[in-house]
Amino acid sequence: MSASDIARILVTGAAGQVGCALVAALGRRYGPANVVAADIKFPPSFSESSPPRVRLDVTDREALAQVVQAHRIDTIYHLAAILSANGEKNPQACWQVNVGGLLNVLEVAREYSLRRVICPSSMAVFGPDAPRQGTPQDTLLHPTTMYGVTKVSGELLGEYYFRRYGVDVRGIRYPGIISSEARPGGGTTDYAVEIFYAALQERRYTCFLREDTVLPMIYMPDVIEGTIQLAEADPARLTRHTDYNMTGFSIAPRDLAAEIQRHLPDFEIAYAPDARQAIADSWPAAIDDRVARRDWGWRPRHDLAAMTADMLAKLAARQRAGSL
């Protein structure tokens, strides 16, 4: 598939951390008029120059079907979800939004013969009994968070819709995502974004994870490139559908703090682990993503140093402009 081949794209969760960046990238690639940004609410900061936007609750199947029909959608990037830490505050809502929402998307995709559904999974599918180092593509999936339970269910549901109904569902297990635009909400890896704002604004940050908590992370430009690459990959080359392992680099909070201190020597960090520590402790420290590299040419461009330099440059520019 090429850029010119995709006609009409719907992005759910478009105002979220990944959604914002993805909507912009898809607009550049396929033309802004071919991308519809959907979310339950849009913050005032959501760019006015964005593609068409619609208010949509993904748990409302009828409303979703109407949007698909009205905008002649043929591809859905389904990003609307409740993340890990928020999921533990309200597990039932997490199930309803993450699994109920996905089921609606898959049903609409089946009913209207959509061309493709892209739905992220997460490293949260792994639990404490999976190998923490070099977590393989195929291993035990016994997550201990509701978020992880919904993501394992989502992978299986997508796979089922592929086998049973031929819906072309594709997904990546994202690690923690670091980004300079929309901020993450309610996740366990959010510290890795918060720390940059705190470093620039206050020169100090209190981290909610222990200093030695190693987790896999990735920088947003790599997420976007990899996701679009998978979406456009030749199906004949794909040996998986909904569950590709992906990673950028593995770091602990103290590694990120030290890298920031190379740019801002007076930055100070303190540690006050909270309930999110237990979630982080149940996840991988480093993920093996060789299957994605082999099947669709996945390759991250940013390591810790490159990401940190770019984050600080982008956020400092916004700070100078008074819009941080």
Stretch that binds ligand SER, among 36-44, 49-57, 172-180, 247-255 (CB under 6 A): 172-180
Q: Which is nearer to ligand SER, 126 or 205 (CB)?
A: 126
Residue 174 sits in the site that holds ligand SER (CB under 6 A): yes
Q: Provide the residue type at 212 as one letter.
A: D
Please pick, among 30, 147, 191, 271, the residue that the annotation labels catalytic.
147
Residue 227 as a binder of ligand SER (CB under 6 A): the answer is no
CB of 174 to ligand SER, least distance (A): 6
Binding residues among 185-224 for ligand SER as defined by CB under 6 A: 187-189
Q: CA torsion 198→324→194→142, rounded to 10°?
A: 180
**DSSP 8-state secondary structure symbol assigned to residue 138:** S
Is 147 among the residues known to form the active site? yes
- In the bound complex, what is the minimum distance in angstroms from residue 176's beta carbon to ligand SER? 5
Binding ligand SER (rule: CB under 6 A), the pick from 68, 106, 124, 291 is: 124
DSSP 15: T
Nearest by Cα to 148 from 170, 167, 168, 174: 174
- Contact between 277 and 253 under an 8 Å Cβ cutoff? The reply is no
**Interacting positions 125-154 with ligand SER (CB under 6 A):** 147
Q: CB nearer to ligand SER: give 191 or 298.
A: 191
With CB atoms as reference, the residue minimizing the distance to ligand SER is 187
Q: How many residues does the chain have?
A: 324
d(CA 231, CA 121): 14
* β-bridge pairing 249-251 and 215-219: antiparallel
Residue 259 CA to residue 247 CA, distance in Å, equals: 19
Instruction: Catalog residues that contact ligand SER under the rule CB under 6 A.
Output: 83-84, 122, 124, 147, 174, 176-177, 187-189
Question: Which residues are the active-site residues?
Answer: 147
